[in-house]
Each structure stands twice: as structure tokens, then as C-alpha cells.
Structure 1
Amino acid sequence: MKIDHLVVNVDKPIQEDEGFIKKIHSLGLPYVPKWGKGTKGFKVSNIWVGNEYLELVRLKTKDGGGWIDDWTEQYNNGHRGLIGFALEVDDIEETYERLKNEGLLITKPETLEYKWFFKQLTKRMPWKNAYLQKLEGMPFQFFLQQLDDEQSKQDIQEFMYPNSRDNQIQGVKEIKIYGKLTSNDKEMLKILFDTYQDKEKMFSIWLDHQAIHFIDAEAFTVEVILDCENADFEGKQMMIENIVLKNG
């Protein structure tokens, strides 16, 4: 299991304001928002960071144009910032069965698809997602993702361009999530993740070469620390909605 990407609800300027786009570039992060997928109802733009990325989502219509129903409702209710946290798994069916058997609420793995061209055509993505129960204390949810096969994985990696690797920013190494976890949230995390540490003010999760830290705080904010090997960009940071991007 590894961090794959973050889904972030954003407003129009983050995808269209040239000044804001240049701020992202100033961190060494190539960003070409017009290249992202979308329909009449939603627009996605991506910041590719090694094998990880931020998926920035803006709704253009109230119905979301085929976007995920629950996330569409939250967007229309004013949610901005982190809405979905994708975890890549090797066997989504096996992981689904394990989590379900251990008592977690999780949707059956299904191929992501959405309607476009006046809902006459269906676009099927080469991966499956399974969505876990929502956190009680924070307004986002984890979901699992697995690409269909190795060829799909190679195709996606080639698609992840332009990429911050060209500027020696290799990927996401750590994510700090500030806010309040409930006791039920912690029990869910203990089932979902194999390696963790539960302290009074911090709940830490360790993956292969990445870490996720939940830190007790009043406000819900997120800090994404990138693996930066370029002295020209080291230490630079900026905020996108409630997410701080920081070159570590």
C-alpha cells in the first residue's frame, strides 16, 4: 500500500488564473491545467509529482456532469480542499474482502466511469476504486485504487507529464493532516493500515517510503511534504485551498 494521490476540491482561479499557476511553477511543479480530463459538468487538472499527484477538481454544473455523486453534493455545499485520499493497493479485491470482514464499511471495487457528450458516451478509466466509510472528525475519506494491469500502469506513468521529476522533485514523502480524529476514526485507521503509532496528540502511519501523520488541531488543514533534491526549490511552499504544498 502507498499514497497514490489526493483529490482536492478547488475554485476556478486555481485552474485558470495565470498568476496562481505561476506560483505553482515557482515551486518547481509543472502544471498545465488545460490538459486535465473533464466533461461539461466538471474539470480536473493534475499536478504530477513523481508517481504521486494532486487531482484538482472544479465543478462547472450543479449535477457534476458525471462526477462522484457524494463528492458533488459536498462541493455544492461549499466543501473546498481535500475530499479524497487515494491509496494504491496490489490486490483491491483481496483488500476489500479483508477490510469488509474486519467490520469496515467499504464499497465494492468498481471501474470508474463517467458520462460525456450530453451523456451519450461513457468514458471508462483503466482502474478500480473502492471507497471506505467517511471519517467522522474530518471532511474527507480514504479510497483504494488499483490499475487494471501492468500495461495500464505504464500508460498512466507516461501520461503523468510534465512531471516534477524534471526538477529533481521525486514524489510525496509525507502528509500531515491537522484536525480531530474520533475514537471510531482511529479504530478504522488501525484496521486499514498495518504499521501505526497512536499517541495522545498524533496518530502516525508508516508505509514503505512514506508517512501519514494525523495531528490534533482545531482547524482542518493538510501539509504535503515533497521529496525535493533541488536546492533551488528546497523549502519553498504555497497553499492550495486548505493544503500546504512544501518542498522538503
Structure 2
Amino acid sequence: MDKISIIAIIGGLAAIIVGQALEGGHIGSLFQLTAFMIVIGGTASAVMLQSTPKQFVTGLRMARWVFQPPQFDHEKTIRDVIHWSQSARKGGLLSLEGYVAQQQDPFHRKALQMLVDGTEPETLRSVMEVEISMFEHARRQSTRIWESAGGYAPTMGILGAVLGLIHVMENLSDPSKLGSGIAVAFVATIYGVGSANLLFLPIANKLKNLVAAEVAMRELIVEGLVAIGHGENPRIIENRLRGFLAMHD
């Protein structure tokens, strides 16, 4: 559980609510169902329109990473690669065949299988880099729905404000209806700007960082397997992987 994300969201909302209370305003005035429907419903519709079903669904599923980010054990990966390197030096590349089925990640399994099958190291690198590139592109397209939401939400807030003011203008003769229309107008703007800057854009940036870490893990595996294919010394491989890892920190 990523506690800092929970603290950040609660802290952001609390700052707005407490600020409203300190100014003498009523906290209840910040809760407007109409404004919420206009901003969130309009933003969701706009994002759905620009995305494919797969990108939209995957992006929503990735949102859980904000609170439960995937764990990347780089040290274990380096230890595994070094172990494979030592086995290959003693028994040849075919001795690694028993490790293929142990890999839970399909990418790791495919890369290791190619090495066992005797694929030339540079060919292995070329094939797996294409796969990494396609994987990264798909992931970034999915995370982009949150970035797009951060762009659309403020505009939807302005739209809600205009609709609220239209409602006010239509009821100038009835003062009892002016308050609700003005409330919707201003609260919609708060919802639009607030959701974009407190939720959607931070979520997008956090997911981008996690995707970058996921891609770096795959590149680490490929770098290690290529070095094994070239028959490099395990110590040299370990130093290279640690240097590679430092570059991506």
C-alpha cells in the first residue's frame, strides 16, 4: 500500500475544506451533485471518445497502482541473471532450460527461451527491444487517459459554470432560485480545476513513472541475457547491470 498517495489525496481535500471553513463559508456548499455530474460525467465522456475501449479499460485498471504500485525487485533480478550466467558458464546455454518454466512473467520467459534456443545475442536484443517498445507504447497510451482527463476537467468546470449562470439569468425574477444557480456555477469550476490538479494530472504522472520503472526492469533482463549470450564473466555482468540500474534511478 502506497501510504503517501493516501496522505496526499486526503491532505489535498482537507486543505480545501478547511480553507473554506476558515473563510467562514459553509462546507455543505462545496457539495453539488449537479456540478459533479457535469464535470465528472463530461470529462469521462470526452476521454472515452478519444480512446479505444482497451486503452480506456486498461487505464482505469492501472489506477490501482496509485495505491498498490507493482513491486520491482531489481536486486532479485540481478541475482537471477548472475545465477543464470554462472550456470551457463558451467553447463552451456542449454543448462538454462530448466529456468524457463520458472519465469512467471511472459516477457522474461520468452527472452530466456530465445537465449536457450541459441539465438544470437544481438538478434535477441533486437527482437526484445521491439517488444519493449510496443509494450511501452501501449502502457503510455493507457496512462494518457488520466492526462487527458486533467485537460478536459477544467473546461468541463467552465461549462458547468456557464450552465449555472444561464440558470441564474433565466430566474432573475425569482430570487429564491438564484442561490442554487450561482452555487452550481462556482462549484463546477472548483470541481473541474480541483480534480484536474489534485487527482487526474498527479495520477497520470505517477503512472508514467511506474511504467518507466516497468520498462527499465525489462531492459535490465535483456541487457543481462545479451551479456550471458556473449559469454561475459558474471562479475562483469553484475557490474554492468548495477550501472545500468543506476542510470535509471
Q: TM-score range by the shorter chain?
A: under 0.3
Structure with greater proportional helix content: 2
Mark the structure with the bigger radius of gyration.
Answer: 2
TM-score (norm 1): 0.21
Q: Which structure ranks higher in relative contact order (CA pairs < 8 Å, sequence separation ≥ 6)?
A: 2
Structure with greater proportional strand content: 1
